[in-house]
Structures are given as C-alpha cells and as structure tokens.
Amino acid sequence: MSAAPWLVVPAAGQGRRMGADRPKQYLEIAGRPVLAHTLARLHAAFPAARLCLCLDPFDARFDPAWVPFPEWRRVPGGAERVDSVTHALDAIAFEAADDDLVLVHDVARPCVTVADLVRLHATLADDPVGGLLAAPVADTMKRDDGAGRVAATVPRAGLWHALTPQGFRYRLLRRALATAAGAGVVVTDEASAVEALGFSPRLVSGRRDNLKITHPEDLALAGQILAAQHLSEPASVETAPAPASVGAGKTER
C-alpha cells in the first residue's frame, strides 16, 4: 500500500436543503468558502496525498487557489455522490494500485480534526477491507409511523452515526460501486456498497463535532466548532486559519 492515500472529495452537489443562493461548499465561514476549509484540514493531515476534487463541469465559482495540494486533479462530478466517486476512481485507474487506500470525504465536513484523520489512516493501514469514521449514537432513537407519530423506540446499543472520511482499498471500492450500480442498489455511502458485497468495514470512533453542513443553522455551528478547535489544538497541528466569525449574508442555491 502506498503511504500517502488517495483523497476523493465530491463537491458537485447543489445543497438545495440549505435554501441558499449557491451550493453549500461555497458558503463562507470567516471569509473563506467551506470547500477551502475542508481542503485545508485534509492537507494538514495528508500533505502528500493525491486529491481528486469532483466538481460540476459548469461550476464557475471554483478557484484553484483554494487547493493546497501539489498533486490534484479536477474530476467531473455526477448527478449523485456515488457517480462523482465512480468518476474519480475511473480517473486514477492507471495510477492507483489495487491495494491503495482511497479516502472519500464530504466537502461539507470542514470540522473533521487532523487527529481523527491521522488515526483513521493509521487504523486502516493494515486492514484488508477498510472502514470509516463513526460516532456511537448517544440519543434515544425513535422510529416514526409514517404519519408524524412515534411507532417505536429503537434500542441505540450498537448503533453508530456514519461520518467521513470513509476509506477502502481501490480495487474493492471500485468493484463495490460497480456492482451496486449494476444491481440498481441505492448507495448512500461507500461503506454501504462494500457491505453489499459481504464485507464488514471497520468502525473507527471519531469526534462528534465532525459536523456535516446540511441545514442553514449548521453553517454558524460549523464556524463556532472551527474556532473552538483552533483554540484547543497546538498550532503545529492545524494549518488552516482560525475562523473568527461566520460570513454574513451568504446563502446557497
């Protein structure tokens, strides 16, 4: 396995749940787009990684200056996340070894810590399958009845929130996604595709503040998390500038 992982960052989504005037990866935290914060955090952990950034082919907002990696490529994004990841895997088919580790990370998760990223990579270094950052469920879980009422309380023992990055061997991940597509299986994350092949990805406990920006209130929360993380981590660990405030008036399409 190559020491430096491949990084795949799907960033072609429109983020319509945000109800903003632009995709959520271009909303600003402290004057910098979410995408820039996310890439800076990944680069702090893996400065030698090779990045595949999946963007809408017609994306005119993107600025290459936001990419800190010396080795990276722009890959056309697809209609769904799984399509973008598949395009990225296809793009590196002649360079990636079968056992190379590929880490897929949500562009809307700028708060993942360098410590979690490094620990995930170290944990998966000798794992023949791969795994994902995840957090044990702490809240009481309810299942609805389809009409807005509680049908049952679901035991939370053994339940985890799936986070990212999710990392798998190149050949296995490519086969898993291709098999799912051929069978018409809906893939919500890379782990579910690998699970459908009969494998059991490793769960690597991650911090709960690895927030995915999805709803309008998440943007301000992400800004607060980034600022708090910067204050609590040694300066040598985090290379991204500390957010001082959330950009005002920034909305997403």
pLDDT at 13: 82
Question: Does 202 fall in a domain?
Answer: yes
Domain total of the chain: 1
Question: Does 251 fall in a domain?
Answer: no
Instruction: Count CB-CB contacts under 10 A for residue 154.
Output: 12
By residue range, what is the domain housing residue 203?
A: 6-232
Positions in the chain whose pLDDT score sits under 70: 1-2, 15, 233-253
Question: Does 96 fall in a domain?
Answer: yes
Question: Does 252 fall in a domain?
Answer: no
Question: Does 172 fall in a domain?
Answer: yes
Question: Does 253 fall in a domain?
Answer: no
Question: Does 151 fall in a domain?
Answer: yes
Contact 78, 84 (CB under 8 A): yes
- Here the CATH number for the domain that contains residue 195 is 3.90.550.10
Compute the distance between CA of residue 234 and CA of residue 115 in angstroms, rounded to an integer: 11
Q: How many CA atoms lie within 13 A of 14 on its CB side?
A: 9
**Would you say the C-alpha torsion 97, 101, 106, 112 has a positive or negative sign?**
negative
* Beta strand pairing call for 72-76 and 50-55: parallel
Lookup result for tokens 């950034």: 53
pLDDT at 232: 76
**Would you say the C-alpha torsion 105, 106, 108, 111 has a positive or negative sign?**
negative
Per DSSP, the residues of 183-211 read: HT---SSHHHHHHHTT--PEEEE--TT--
Compute the distance between CA of residue 236 and CA of residue 143 in angstroms, rounded to an integer: 44
Question: Does 209 fall in a domain?
Answer: yes
